Amino acid sequence: MKILHGIGASKGIAIGKITLCLNIDNHIEKKTIIDVEAELARLDEAKKTSVEALNAIYAKALKRVGEANSMIFQIHIMMLQDEDFYGAIQTAIREEKLNAEYAVWQAGQQFSEMFSQMDDEYMRGRASDVIDISKRLIRNLDTRLANGLDSLSSPTIVAAADLMPSETVQMDKEMVYAFVTQEGSKSSHSAILARTMGIPAVVGLADQFNELSDGAEIIVDGNTGDVILEPDEATRTDYRAKQEEFIKHQQELKLLKGTKAITKNGVEMEINANIGHPEDVDLALENDADGIGLFRSEFLYMESNQFPSEEEQFIAYKTVLERMGGKRVIIRTLDLGADKQVPYLNLPHEENPALGLRAIRICLDRQDLFLTQLRALIRASAYGKLAIMFPMIISVDEVRQIKGLVEKVKNDLTKEKIPFDPHFEIGIMIETPASVMLSDELAKEVDFFSIGTNDLTQYTLAVDRMNHSISKLFDSRHPAVLRMIEMAAQSAKKAGIWVGICGESAADTSLTEFYVKIGVRELSVTPSAVLELRRAVQQIDIK
C-alpha cells in the first residue's frame, strides 16, 4: 500500500480499478507523405468530424453543466476554424510533406507554447484548449489513438496525464467513479466540470502519477487529495465507511430544501447562487437558492462575436427575473478585461491587465455600451426583483457618475412610456482596497455592498490569483483580507445598508461564523454549494 498526494479538485470518495488512458504524445509517428492532396483531404474530413462532435458535446453539456461551463466548446469550434492554426497544419503538410497526425501535433505544441507565454491571463488559458482540439483532430485521423473513454465496459477510475474539458463533460457518472491526473489544478476547466457533475477528482499528482498502472486498485479521496495505491483490507474498510458517510451527508443536504438559513440564535442569512447564463437558473432552482446573488452578465458578451443588442440582453435578464419568481436577482454589469477578453472590444495590449482597463472603467469609457446595458437591465426590472451591481469601484465620483447615467436611462424610459420598477436596488462590489478604505463614504451612495473576495484577496496581497507558481500565497483567510472585509461590513452597518459576499470564500464554511458575526447577511456561491452552506449557517450558535 502506498499513499500518493495530489490536489483535491472535486469532493467525494471512490474505490475501484484504474483505466489508464493513452498519452497521445507518446504515440504520434512522424512520417513523410507522397500524396499531399489526399493528406489534406484526410485533414478536412477529420476537421468536419471534430466540429460535428463538438456541437454534440456542447448540446449535451448545456443540459448537464449549464451555459457558463459549456461555452468552452463553442470556443473550441472557433479555434478549430481559426485560419492561423488550421493554416499552419496545412502548410506543414504541403511544404514539409508531414503526415496529418504529426502536422496537427506540431501545430498544437507551437500554438500552445505561444499562448502560454502571453501576458494576458485569458489568452494563457487558451494553451490547454489548443491541446484539446489538437488531440481531437488526431484521434479522428487515427482511431487507434482513442483514449478509451468512449468504450468503457465497466465502472472504473480514470487515470490520465491530463483530461481535457471535452473529455470530462462526456463522462458517464455510472461508468466513471472518479478521475486522477498527473497535471492540472483546482481551477482548471476539467476540475470545475467535475465539481459541477459531482465526480470525485484528484489532480496534480506530478511524478507520482508514474506509479499508477492499468488495472491497479486505488482509493481516490477528492476531499483531501490523497490517492491510495493497492490499499490493504483495513484501509479499504475504513474508506468504505467514509464513502457511505459522504453519500449519507449528500442525501441529508437534500432534506434542507425548503428550509431557511437561520442560526440557532435567530440570525437569518440569504444563501444565493452565482450564475453566468439564463439557463443556469435551473441549477439555482434545483439547489433551492434563495435568489441570484451574482449574474455575471459579461458571459453574454463573451459568447457572442459582436456586442449583444439591447433587446438580446433584455430577453436574457427578463428570463432570469421571471424564472426566479420574485426572488432577488443581482446582475453585475459587464466585467470584461483582465482574464475575460472579447476580440471585438479591441482593448489595447496592457502589461498588467488586472490593473488596467477593465469592468466599470470600460463602461465609463465606452458609455454607449454601458447605456445599452443599463436600458436592458432597467426595462427588465418590471418582471421581477432586480438589483444592479457595479464592479471594480475605487471612488465616490465613479458611483455618482454611474447614478447619473442610471437616472438618464430612467428618464428616457419614462418619456418613451416603457415600464420599469423605479425601486430596484443599486449596489457596488467591494473588491479593491480603495473601495474598502472609502467604504464609509460609498455606503451613503448605494443600497448594498457585495464583497468580491477573489479580487480583494488578489489586490490586498499583491498575488496574481491566476499564477499557479505562487498559488500558496493566495489566501482569502489572510488576516489582512479579513480585516478589509470587516471594515467594509462595519461601514455598511453604520449606513444602514446590507452587505453580502460573492467571491469564492463565500462557500468556505470555516469563515461562515465570522461573516455572521461581522454583519454579513447574504452569501452567494456556486449552486451546488447552496445546501452545504445553509447547513453550516443552521449549526451556528453565537451567544
Closest Cα to residue 442, out of 455, 433, 457, 430? 430
Closest Cα to residue 218, out of 67, 417, 8, 1? 1
Under 8 Å between Cβ of 429 and 387: no
Q: Tell me whether residue 431 is annotated as binding.
A: yes
- Residue 174's CB: how many other CB atoms inside 10 A? 8
Q: Tell me whether residue 375 is annotated as binding.
A: no
Q: Tell me whether residue 465 is annotated as binding.
A: yes
Q: Tell me whether residue 455 is annotated as binding.
A: yes
502 is catalytic: yes
Q: Tell me whether residue 272 is annotated as binding.
A: no
Residue with cell 434545483: 286
Strands (E), 328-470: 328-332, 385-390, 425-430, 448-451
* Given 21, 76, 189, 363, the catalytic residue: 189
Q: Tell me whether residue 332 is annotated as binding.
A: yes
Closest Cα to residue 180, out of 135, 211, 137? 211
Question: Residues 6 or more apart from 89 whose CB is under 8 A from it?
Answer: 43, 100, 103, 104, 107
Q: SS3 of 80, please?
A: helix
Under 8 Å between Cβ of 102 and 95: no
Under 8 Å between Cβ of 381 and 329: no
Q: SS3 of 181, please?
A: strand
CA distance 387 to 410: 15
Side-chain-side CA neighbours of residue 457 (13 Å): 22
* Given 21, 277, 363, 502, the catalytic residue: 502
- Cα dihedral 346/294/528/328 (nearest 10): -150
Query: C-alpha cell of 256?
Result: 434542507
- DSSP classification of residue 348: P
Under 8 Å between Cβ of 80 and 54: yes
189 is catalytic: yes
- As beta bridge partners, residue 181 has 160
Residue ranges for the binding site for phosphoenolpyruvate? 296, 332, 454-455, 465
Catalytic positions are 189, 502
Residue ranges for the binding site for Mg(2+)? 431, 455
Residue ranges for the binding site? 296, 332, 431, 454-455, 465
